Amino acid sequence: MKHYPMIINGHAIDSNDRLAVVNPATGDTFATCARASDHHVDTAVHAAKMAFDVWSKRPDAERKALIHQLGALIEQHKDELIELVVRETGKPIGGLGGVGATMEVMGASAWSHVTADIDLPDEIIQDDATALVTVTRKPLGVVASVTPWNWPLLIAIWHLIAAIRAGNTVVIKPSELTPLATARFIELANGILPPGVLNIVMGEGNIGQRLISAPAVSKVVFTGSTATGKRIMASASNSLKRLVLELGGNDAAIVLPGTDLDRVAGDIFAAAFHNNGQTCACLKRLYVHESQYEALCQRLVAIAEGIKVGNGLDADVELGPIQNEAQRSIVENLVAAAVREGGQILCGGKRVEGAGYFYSPTLVAGLRNGCELVDQEQFGPVLPIIRYTLIDEAIELANDSPNGLGGSVWGENTAEAEQVGRQLECGTVWINGHGGVQPDAPFGGVKESGFGVEFGRYGLEECTSIQTVKIHRQ
Ligand code: NDP
């Protein structure tokens, strides 16, 4: 069975303690990785701190060129990385709507290249007879990254490429459920980068907490649950670390009256169910005008019943298993609550018997705000469809949530849809689409979905501090 070490200061570091990594499509352990001790975490942070001086002073053009090399490296090793992503996450090679492991790996490459080309030049605020005032962006130091199990490689790339592009060094701690593609990438990257720039520690229990609390860490970037994000924020306060928190979403979508349902049904379904709904910016609550409610439910049921669910290594599979048993139980409990609260299961609503953590794509009608499945993030292959009468009511219901990651409006009149969309309390609004992110546009949440953004110039700026220099001329 293949074993994956940590990478600290450019060296492969093993541990007596090992973590088993399970394939959610079979329930079997297929690989192991080294499990970090507190000492390993401290050593990794020290290595990153030592590497910072040289890396941050490296000419910008050289850092840019090395990051382009990382993007190329991912592409060169794409077959190996895609297989690792499929085995550890369960997501299919292709996936529903093309959103699967291939997209994850090729997206990681593309994100690296685009981020490599983003510059943060000095800004001149004043240049006259009295003074020259310049604003410079400076790297922060050591960035601690804690990544989740739903898009492990892509989110790792989001965290660490921006950090090192801006001149920081990184220690990453992937989810203990999906550490392998990230570990392999860090190993490959260390063949190119100076030692200590990118380090990885793996483990569970208190490794994340140990890492983010290290005094030498200047910034924490975390993608995961709101509850853990709040704990991280509390811990980070001891030394006022910078934070970017990309937390839970419970994204609403509003379908306006008169929408061409044949045009939108497939896209709405894919936005809710790709990766089995295990994406922060999946469509998680669907608000449909009463005039089209039954018709859209019927169309979505027809799509759900045609979806091929299975082992993601099979080429034509669209949805794999849920990534872990605990998440499947969360989904199951929310569906049970929906039934108790008067919801009608239009399709699915049960586990797929046999090995692996499979669950049928499930559509639930007849719920309203205040029901558990509507109010809580399901993070699984279940979509509540909620009826509304007035558009203002739909906007109010959509905003009636502690979360505010994304939201969407679907309709034939784009100007009307945009006008409705701009009233949603969320970080990103999509019109006639949902969940698409891109490496040059900022992405982040409001309310309890977190703060700080990733991607593009705005994301890069989050990896820096500002230094203002004023040269008096008189
Ligand atoms: P969590 O959000 O709880 O994150 C777990 C990770 O955070 C682990 O790596 C853990 O490391 C680390 N961690 C936990 N506590 C701390 C701390 N105090 N300081 C630093 N790191 C810490 O994920 P779960 O897997 O438990 O998922 C829970 C829910 O989160 C899901 O049901 C889903 O709703 C949501 N989720 C959201 C995602 C998103 O993209 N927004 C992605 C995945 C899940 P260690 O074990 O070492 O403590």
Determine whether domain 2-247+449-472 maps to CATH 3.40.630.10.
no
pLDDT of res. 238: 85
**According to the 3-state scheme, what is the secondary structure of 280-324?**
CCCEEEEEEEHHHHHHHHHHHHHHHHCCCECCCCCCCCCECCCCC
Distance 28 CA to ligand 1 centre (A): 22
N- to C-terminal Cα separation, the chain:
71
Q: Ligand 1: which residue has its CA nearest to atom 42?
A: 224
Q: Ligand 1: which residue has its CA nearest to atom 19?
A: 209
Distance 388 CA to ligand 1 centre (A): 34
Q: Is 205 in the pocket of ligand 1 (CB under 6 A)?
A: yes
Q: Is 115 in the pocket of ligand 1 (CB under 6 A)?
A: no
- How many Cβ atoms are within 10 Å of 98's Cβ, its own excluded? 11
Distance 305 CA to ligand 1 centre (A): 32
d(CA 318, CA 337): 27
Q: Which atom of ligand 1 is nearest to the CA of 173?
A: 9
Q: Which of 146, 279, 403 to mutate to test the pocket of ligand 1 (most atoms within 8 A of CB)?
A: 146
pTM, 2 dp: 0.98
Q: Which residue has the tokens 């990257």?
A: 189
Q: Is 224 in the pocket of ligand 1 (CB under 6 A)?
A: yes
Containing 470, the helix (H) or strand (E) segment is strand 464-472
Q: Is 250 in the pocket of ligand 1 (CB under 6 A)?
A: no
Q: Which atom of ligand 1 is nearest to the CA of 405?
A: 41
Among 246, 332, 372, 454, which one carries the catalytic annotation?
246
Q: Is 377 in the pocket of ligand 1 (CB under 6 A)?
A: yes
Q: Ligand 1: which residue has its CA nearest to atom 4?
A: 224
Tell me whether domains 2-247+449-472 and 251-439 share a fold: no
CATH superfamily placement of domain 251-439: Aldehyde Dehydrogenase; Chain A, domain 2 (3.40.309.10)
Distance 207 CA to ligand 1 centre (A): 12
Residue 448 burial (10 A CB sphere; 0-12, 13-18, 19+): buried
pLDDT of res. 189: 98
Distance 278 CA to ligand 1 centre (A): 13
Ranges of each domain in the chain: 2-247+449-472, 251-439
DSSP E strands: which ranges in 360-424? 362-365, 382-388, 403-404, 406-410
Q: Which of 17, 225, 447 to mutate to test the pocket of ligand 1 (most atoms within 8 A of CB)?
A: 225
Q: Is 204 in the pocket of ligand 1 (CB under 6 A)?
A: yes
Distance 415 CA to ligand 1 centre (A): 39
d(CA 372, CA 7): 42
Question: What averages of pLDDT result for each successive group of 10 residues across the chain (474 residues)?
Answer: 98 96 98 98 98 98 98 98 98 97 98 98 98 98 98 98 98 98 98 98 96 97 97 93 96 98 98 98 98 98 97 96 98 98 98 96 98 98 98 98 98 98 98 98 98 98 98 94
pLDDT of res. 108: 98
Distance 34 CA to ligand 1 centre (A): 19
Residue 318 bears catalytic tag:
no
Q: Which atom of ligand 1 is nearest to the CA of 249?
A: 41
Among residues 102, 113, 10, the alpha carbon closest in space to that of 70 is found at: 113
Helix axes 180-189, 60-76, angle to 10 degrees: 130
Contact indicator for 303, 269 with CB cutoff of 8 Å: yes
Q: Is 43 in the pocket of ligand 1 (CB under 6 A)?
A: no
Q: Which atom of ligand 1 is nearest to the CA of 248?
A: 41
pLDDT of res. 103: 98
Distance 178 CA to ligand 1 centre (A): 12
**The two structure tokens encoding residue 336:** 């049970």
Among residues 122, 49, 192, 167, the alpha carbon closest in space to that of 460 is found at: 167
Q: Ligand 1: which residue has its CA nearest to atom 6?
A: 175
Q: Is the dihedral of CA 246, 247, 248, 253 positive or negative?
A: negative
